[in-house]
Amino acid sequence: LGQYLTSSLQNVSSDESASIRVIGRELYMLELAKSPIWGRGYPHESSRAAYTAAGVYESINLNDNGIIAFTYIYGLIGFLWYIVLQVKMLKQAIVANKNKKYFFLPYIILNLVVVINLLFWYWDFTSGVVLVIIISTLEEYKKVRKQPTQK
């Protein structure tokens, strides 16, 4: 994680991987301007125009551009949904952390740190399942915490 943070703060001109990500983000923001509310949608392989708009032919990958690519696909509605989800999870994780449930907060912080380049839960099925389990567990923990204790 430290190595990732250090490299993300360095000058991107020396890192080819970071340079292509910057180009991808710029492309996605230009394309997003055409449909900011709903986004541009996920490019289907049968649509040459969609592939071109997404930069696929220029070796720009959606999965390398984190929240920017997610916003490109789902627009401001998707971005706002993501923000609401993260804020809710963060609040619940902080409460859980205060009650000695330490797993949730580091997971959420990790996701927030790498969000500019990666959305684990979106591109990887297993990570998506883990996210659903974490959300469900946080919700259950919140529910159990609110129930009066029986004597």
Given a cut of 80, is residue 148 above it in pLDDT?
no
Q: Is the pLDDT of residue 39 over 80?
A: yes
86 Cβ contact partners less than 8 Å away, ≥ 6 residues apart: 108, 111, 112
* pLDDT tens readout for residues 85-144: 999 999 999 999 998 989 999 999 998 998 988 888 888 899 889 999 999 999 988 877
Q: Would the pLDDT of 4 be above 60? A: no
pTM of the model: 0.80
- The pLDDT of residue 150: 57
Query: pLDDT at position 6, please?
Result: 57
* Paired tokens of 86: 């993260």
Q: Which of 2-6, 17-21, 110-114, 133-137 has the lowest mean pLDDT?
A: 2-6
pLDDT of residue 5: 53
Largest CA distance in the chain: 66
Look at residue 77 and tell me whether its pLDDT is greater than 70: yes
Please report the pLDDT score of residue 144 as a whole number. 77
Tens-place pLDDT, residues 44-67: 989 999 999 999 999 898 988 999
Closest Cα to residue 117, out of 33, 28, 57, 50? 28
What is the distance between the alpha carbons of residues 68 and 81, in angstroms, rounded to a whole number? 14
